Amino acid sequence: MKMEELKQKILKEGMAKDSDILVVNSFLNQQVDTKLMENIGKEFAAYFKDKGVTKILTAESSGIAPALMTAANLGVNCIFARKQKSLTTDDNSYVSTVYSFTKQEMKNLIVEKSFLNEDDKILIIDDFLANGQASKAMIALCNQAGADVVGIGIVIEKSFQEGRKILEEMGYDVYSLARISKLEEGKIEFLD
In this structure, the dihedral spanned by the alpha carbons of residues 177, 107, 27 and 158, taken in order and rounded to 10 degrees, is -40
CB of 60 to its own copies, least distance (A): 4
Which of the stretches 56-64, 130-138, 163-171, 182-190 binds its own copies when contact is defined by CB under 8 A?
Answer: 56-64
What gap in Å lies between CA 82 and CA 61, rounded to an integer?
Answer: 9
Q: Does 49 bind its own copies (CB under 8 A)?
A: no
Q: Does 186 bind its own copies (CB under 8 A)?
A: no
99-118 mask for its own copies (x: CB under 8 A)?
A: -xxxxx------xx-xx---
DSSP letter for each residue of 38-75: HHHHHHHHHHHTTS---EEEEETTTTHHHHHHHHHHHT
Between 108 and 170, CB nearer to its own copies: 108
CB of 182 to its own copies, least distance (A): 18
Residue 119: DSSP 8-state: T
CB of 63 to its own copies, least distance (A): 10
| Contact indicator for 143, 121 with CB cutoff of 8 Å | no
